[in-house]
Structures are given as C-alpha cells and as structure tokens.
C-alpha cells in the first residue's frame, strides 16, 4: 500500500562523542529479542500513522518502513510530514483531538515537556526495550518532573559549515585553519560570483544555530555552560556578547536583506550552487546529497576568533527528537511494537544509511565519508547547544529569545549587548541556576 504524505535533559557532551554521535567500528549487533526484530509474527491488519517535521525525508522514511511492513504482514505505516515551522502547533492540536497520529516525532528536552504535562503521550518504561539506545540520550525524552521515559531518541546532531568543494576548487580556495584564513576565504567569495554563506534569517530558529557555529569558541563552550548552570556567569558575560557580535559581523558575507530569506530558500541557494557555504546541522546531509547528488560536499569547523575563551574550534551537539506514542491512539499495542523496532540496531542502521543522520542507537557503521568527517570534527571539540539543551524548559525559551534578538540586530534595532540582555532577562523569569 502506498503511504500517504503531506507536503506541507541535559545531555552529556562526552557521551555524545563516545556513543550517540560516535560510530563504532563494528557492524550493528543482532538483537535476539523478538520484540525488537522486524521479523515479528503477523498481526491483525492495522494502519499506523506517524507525524514528522522532516518533509525532506519522506521518501527515506517510506523506504525504511517498507522493511518493517515486509516483516510484519498486515501492518501499514503511513509517514506524514509537515512544515517545520507549523509542526509544533499542528502536533499539539492533533494530540488533543481524536484525529491525531498514532506515533509522532516529538521535540527533545524542554520541547517535549508540555506534551508530557498535558498527558498527551504514554510512558514507555517497561514496554519498550531501549537497551540499544545510548542511555545518556534518553534524558531528551524523559519527563522533567516524573522521571518517566516518553520516547525513543532517533538522532544526534552536530553543527558545522558545509561547503561546495567544486566552487572552492574553481576559485583556488581551501578549508580555513585560522580566523584570518576564515575571513580571507569569505572575502574571496564575496569578490566572486558566489554568495559566501547561505542563511535563512527569516526563520529565527536558524539564528541560534548560526551563532553556535561561529561563536561557540568565542564564548567558551563547555566552560561557559558549566558557569551558566552553576550561576557563576550569565548571558551578559562579555565573551558571550562578543560571540553575538560575530554573528552580526558575518552579515557582509550573506545576500542583501538576509532577514527576508527563508530557511527553505537558503537550502535552495546552496543546492543550486549560488552560495558556496551553508552553516547548519548534520540533519542537512541527507537532503543535500539527494537534492544535489553531483555536488562534492566538504565540512569544517569555524576556527577560533581572536580573544576566544576556547583554545580550539568547537562543534555544538545535542540529542534530536524522539519517537513517541499518542495517548489517544486506538492502536497502542501495535504502536509499541513498532517503537521496539525503532529502538533496535536494525532500524538504527537503516536510519543511518537512508536518512544519513547520526543515530541514537549504539554500535552502528557509518560509511558515508562526510558523516565520518563530521563525527571526527565533533569529537575534536564537542560542546552542547546550550539554548536548546538547557534553556527550553520554560517560557520564553533561550532559542526563541536569541533567535528573535539576532533578527532585531540584523534589522538595526538592537546591538549585541541588548540581545544578550534580552536573553538573560527572559531566561531569568524561570531558570534557577544550580536547581
């Protein structure tokens, strides 16, 4: 049966390096538990719907679920994807009513907390075998107050700069290893027919990502985070303010009126070859390789800016969202059976091979050369994406505040210091250091 599609905790960074984002040398292990195998017995005919915000991955997930359907006659998995910017509201509404999905991709850390508190997801403790999942990543799907597990993490992500090797070769350019080389590279691109960097500044969620890519080393990454959580520093720290200023300084390397460029348009700029670089997450890799199969991709970490608090380039990482079961689903038994498979090495390897993202499952093989390089770069300087991992457990969220603040800075309405002040003031309404 054809699938219907729509167009529409705190993590331990070291654990991410060693497990969640670090591929092991061996092949994925077979899981003896028949509950986690795709070779389960046939069941009564049932259709399971799964909602997602990953419109780019529709066909890839359809391929993955074909494997499950083949091993489970009578089961059909309909994967439906919606626009990223609309997904949170659509999902909340769907879970509240009777026409929601059986399963859904849910946001991580504070992003899932509201759904948990509303009783819209079922706890999966004891019902789903998560022994193949890197245990530190389960915090991304764990209730902050009740401590119950509500999802199976599906990916870890890291933030780096993608670049078009063909354009670099054409212009005689190479990956920068110093800040001066980074500036010279972008100046050379500025003088060419190519836009140096593609950035979708109209979508505010991309701006904290860009800030981490160019500014994490400047403010100090892990050391700053430790101080922030302990209460010995805050977002008004001069090093953090300086990191925001770097974001503003980079606008000279983007298209004019970058604030009007949507995320999807920035992807097109890079895929079409009009922009030489795309600062973004590892979640872009599958889309770039499928949409531009002839493009030779490279990746690098932005070198440390002058006066950086870190002595090396840093790559922000986090556990991405999780698969979860709708508390109002009429097919919970079948959904939980699927959840066990989604927590298995079999699914994890398919996810890596088809979607080309880092899986939360342990012991997988990463054969894609760009994935290998991204993993090595992340392991060389891991840090947490602070405003997602730590600052989404209250309202306003850290990522919302800094994203909107940078937009205002791009429009000339705020300076870097004011952006940092707004971020700190907003977070202080709910975040208690050391709690």
Q: Provide DSSP, 352-411.
A: HHHH-SB-SBSS-----HHHHHHHHHHHHSEEE-HHHHTS-SSSS-HHHHHHHHHHHHHT
187: three-class secondary structure by DSSP: helix
Gap between the Cα atoms of 150 and 127, Å rounded: 11
Which residue segments constitute the domains of the chain, with CATH numbers given?
13-155+320-370 (3.40.190.10), 157-317+394-427 (3.40.190.10)
Gap between the Cα atoms of 359 and 320, Å rounded: 9
Q: 99: left (phi > 0), else alpha (psi -120 to 50), else beta?
A: alpha
Please check whether residue 51 is in contact with residue 91, taking contact to mean a CB–CB distance below 8 angstroms. yes
Gap between the Cα atoms of 64 and 143, Å rounded: 29
Joined together, the tokens standing for residue 77 give 């998995």
Q: What is the pLDDT of residue 44?
A: 80
pLDDT tens-digit profile of 328-348?
999 999 999 999 999 999 999
Block residue for tokens 């999942």 = 133
Q: What is the pLDDT of residue 33?
A: 45
Block residue for tokens 């840090």 = 383
pLDDT tens-digit profile of 38-63?
554 545 899 999 999 999 899 999 99
Gap between the Cα atoms of 263 and 274, Å rounded: 15
pLDDT tens-digit profile of 159-194?
999 999 999 999 999 999 999 999 999 999 999 999
Joined together, the tokens standing for residue 166 give 């063909």
CA separation (Å) from 50 to 192, 211, 355, 382, 390? Answer: 45, 32, 16, 32, 27
CA separation (Å) from 10 to 21, 109, 139, 159? Answer: 16, 7, 6, 18
Gap between the Cα atoms of 173 and 77, Å rounded: 46
330-361 burial, b if ≥16 CB within 10 A, otherwise e? ebbebbbbbbbbbbbbbbbbbbbbbbbbbbbb
Gap between the Cα atoms of 151 and 128, Å rounded: 9
Please check whether residue 144 is in contact with residue 151, taking contact to mean a CB–CB distance below 8 angstroms. no
The closest alpha carbon to 128, from 204, 33, 197, belongs to 33
Gap between the Cα atoms of 88 and 397, Å rounded: 14
Asked, as a colleague might, if the bond just before 396 is cis with ω within 30 of 0, I would say yes
CA separation (Å) from 367 to 26, 358, 361, 375, 433? Answer: 12, 11, 16, 12, 41
The conformation of residue 194, written as its DSSP 8-state character, comes to S
- The dihedral of CA 137, 316, 84, 243: what is its sign? positive
149 bridge partner residues: 142
Joined together, the tokens standing for residue 413 give 């309405």
One pLDDT digit (tens) per residue for the chain, 435 residues = 434 433 333 334 434 443 333 333 333 333 334 444 555 454 589 999 999 999 989 999 999 999 999 999 999 999 999 998 899 999 999 999 989 999 999 999 999 999 999 999 999 999 999 999 999 899 999 999 999 999 999 999 999 999 999 999 999 999 999 999 999 999 999 999 999 999 999 999 999 999 999 999 999 999 999 999 999 999 999 999 999 999 999 999 999 999 999 999 999 999 999 999 999 999 999 899 999 999 999 999 999 999 999 999 999 999 999 999 999 999 999 999 999 999 999 999 999 999 999 999 999 999 999 999 999 999 999 999 999 999 999 999 999 999 999 999 999 999 999 999 999 999 999 999 987
Q: What is the pLDDT of residue 38?
A: 53
What average pLDDT does the structure give for the chain?
91
pLDDT tens-digit profile of 370-393?
999 999 999 999 999 999 999 999
Joined together, the tokens standing for residue 36 give 């986690």
Maximum CA pair distance of the chain? 64
Please check whether residue 344 is in contact with residue 31, taking contact to mean a CB–CB distance below 8 angstroms. yes
61: three-class secondary structure by DSSP: helix
Backbone angles phi, psi at 213, to 5 degrees: -65, -45
Count CB atoms within 10 A of the CB of residue 290. 15
Contacts of 126 (CB under 8 A, 6+ apart): none
Block residue for tokens 């490279």 = 298
Gap between the Cα atoms of 208 and 276, Å rounded: 21
Q: 22: left (phi > 0), else alpha (psi -120 to 50), else beta?
A: beta
Q: What is the pLDDT of residue 41?
A: 53
């Amino acid at each position: 049966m054809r699938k219907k599609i729509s167009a529409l905790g705190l993590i331990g960074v070291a654990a991410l390096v060693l497990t969640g984002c670090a591929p092991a040398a061996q092949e994925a292990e077979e899981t003896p538990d028949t509950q986690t195998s795709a070779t389960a017995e046939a069941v009564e005919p049932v259709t399971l719907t799964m909602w997602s915000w990953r419109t780019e991955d529709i066909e890839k997930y359809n391929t993955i679920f074909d494997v499950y359907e083949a091993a489970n006659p009578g089961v059909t998995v309909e994967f439906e994807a919606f626009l990223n910017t609309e997904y949170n509201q659509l999902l909340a509404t769907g879970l509240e009513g009777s026409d929601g999905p059986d399963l859904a991709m849910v946001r991580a850390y504070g992003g899932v907390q509201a759904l948990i508190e509303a009783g819209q997801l079922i706890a999966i403790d004891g019902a789903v075998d998560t022994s193949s999942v890197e245990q530190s990543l389960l915090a991304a799907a764990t209730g902050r107050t009740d401590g119950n597990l509500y999802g199976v993490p599906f990916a870890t992500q890291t933030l780096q700069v993608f670049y078009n090797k063909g354009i670099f070769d054409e212009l005689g350019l190479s990956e920068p290893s110093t800040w001066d080389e980074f500036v010279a590279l972008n100046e050379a691109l500025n003088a060419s027919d190519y836009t140096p960097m593609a950035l979708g500044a109209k979508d505010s969620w991309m701006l904290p990502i860009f800030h981490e890519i160019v500014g994490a080393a400047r403010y100090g990454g892990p050391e700053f985070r430790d101080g922030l959580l302990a209460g010995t520093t805050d977002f008004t720290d001069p090093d953090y303010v300086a990191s925001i200023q770097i974001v503003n300084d980079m606008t000279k390397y983007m298209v004019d009126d970058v604030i009007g460029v949507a995320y999807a348009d920035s992807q097109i700029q890079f895929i079409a070859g009009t922009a030489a670089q795309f600062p973004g997450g590892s979640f872009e890799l599958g889309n770039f390789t499928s949409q531009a199969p002839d493009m030779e991709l490279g990746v690098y970490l932005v070198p440390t800016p002058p006066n950086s608090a870190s002595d090396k380039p840093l790559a922000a990482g986090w556990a991405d969202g999780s698969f979860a079961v709708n508390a109002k689903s009429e097919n919970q038994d079948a959904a939980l059976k699927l959840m066990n498979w989604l927590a298995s090495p079999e699914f994890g390897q398919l996810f890596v091979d088809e979607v080309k993202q880092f899986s939360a499952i342990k012991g997988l093989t990463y054969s894609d050369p760009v994935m290998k390089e991204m993993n090595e770069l992340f392991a060389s300087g891991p840090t947490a994406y602070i405003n997602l991992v730590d600052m989404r457990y209250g309202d306003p969220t850290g990522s919302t505040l800094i994203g909107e603040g940078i937009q205002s800075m791009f429009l000339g309405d705020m300076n870097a210091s004011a952006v940092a002040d707004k971020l700190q003031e907003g977070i202080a309404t709910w975040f208690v250091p050391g709690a």
